[in-house]
Amino acid sequence: MSLPIKENLRDLRRLAGLTQEQVAQQVGLTRQAISSYESGRTQPDLDTLEALAKVYGAELTDALYGAGRRQKALRFWRRAPLILAAVILALVGLRSALLLGINSFLAIPRGLADQETLAELTGGRFALLDAAAALGGLAGAVALIGCLVLGVGLFLARPLPPVKGGLVFLLILAGGFLLLTLPFAALDGAYRAADYLWPGLGILPPAALLALWWGLLALLWRRSE
């Protein structure tokens, strides 16, 4: 599925490393006109599209359909970190919901003397606690492997995707993690906040290192230009 022309034009300009003002000067338009095209307020005619594509060193089809290889790579780097964050946060949310459910519905009453009932509650509780621990471990593993893969991909990427992508990834992951743990901990009368937060030790450091690596690569590439 092709992207709207406004997004194609914006991506092509960023890939070319040009400002709206620089593009406007080369095609004989105003910066406001370029901004209007990229925001979708107005639509360029075919001649203008051809002129813009030429400035960007691209084909007309790239402006119309976003079919260029570098455009596809840029879209990948816009989506991949967000998809990774969504998978990690889904696992964290499931774990938090499971822990709260265990402590809400499988709490062991004080002074319970019925050994059969006690064994049933204890067995079910421990099985579900193991499942919750597995979800926390899986979230950490996905974060580590996913960040390693993205880190290698960044090293090979040409051009390097905008550094803000790493910061957005880290902020979404950190903010989402807190939103999917602390409210559950506040509702849990048995576990402390630390019991909900410990998977963050395996999730947030790889994300922070990825964002740092992203920024370091941007600095190195800029110096080499």
- The burial of 73, by beta-carbon neighbours within 10 Å (0-12 exposed, 13-18 middle, 19 or more buried), is given as middle
Distance CA 37, CA 26 (A): 15
The Cβ-side half-sphere exposure at 154, using a 13 Å CA radius, reads 27
Q: Nearest Cα to 68, choosing from 14, 135, 112?
A: 14
Distance CA 207, CA 174 (A): 9
Q: What pLDDT is recorded for position 109?
A: 54
Q: How many CB atoms lie within 10 A of CB 61?
A: 13
* pLDDT tens, residue by residue, 62-102: 888 877 777 888 788 889 999 999 999 999 999 999 999 99
Does domain 5-65 match CATH 1.10.260.40?
Answer: yes
pLDDT for residue 133 is more than 50: yes
Q: Would you state the structure tokens that stand for residue 120, as one six-digit string? A: 């049933």
Q: Nearest Cα to 174, choosing from 203, 154, 140?
A: 203
Q: Which residue has the tokens 């901990």?
A: 185
* pLDDT tens, residue by residue, 21-75: 999 999 999 999 999 998 989 999 999 999 998 988 888 888 888 777 778 887 8
As a whole number of angstroms, the longest Cα–Cα distance in the chain is: 87
Helical pair 5-16 and 69-105, crossing angle rounded to 10 deg: 110
Q: How many CB atoms lie within 10 A of CB 81?
A: 25
Count of positions (residues) in the chain? 225
Q: Confidence band (pLDDT; 50, 70, 90) for 114?
A: very low
- Please state the domain extents for the chain: 5-65, 69-224
Q: Would you state the structure tokens that stand for residue 153, as one six-digit string? A: 């991909």
Question: HEC states along 92-134?
Answer: HHHHHHHHHHHHHHCCCCCCCCCHHHHHHHHHHHHHHHHHHHH
pLDDT for residue 111 is more than 60: no
Q: Nearest 10 degrees: CA dihedral of 136, 142, 147, 150?
A: -160
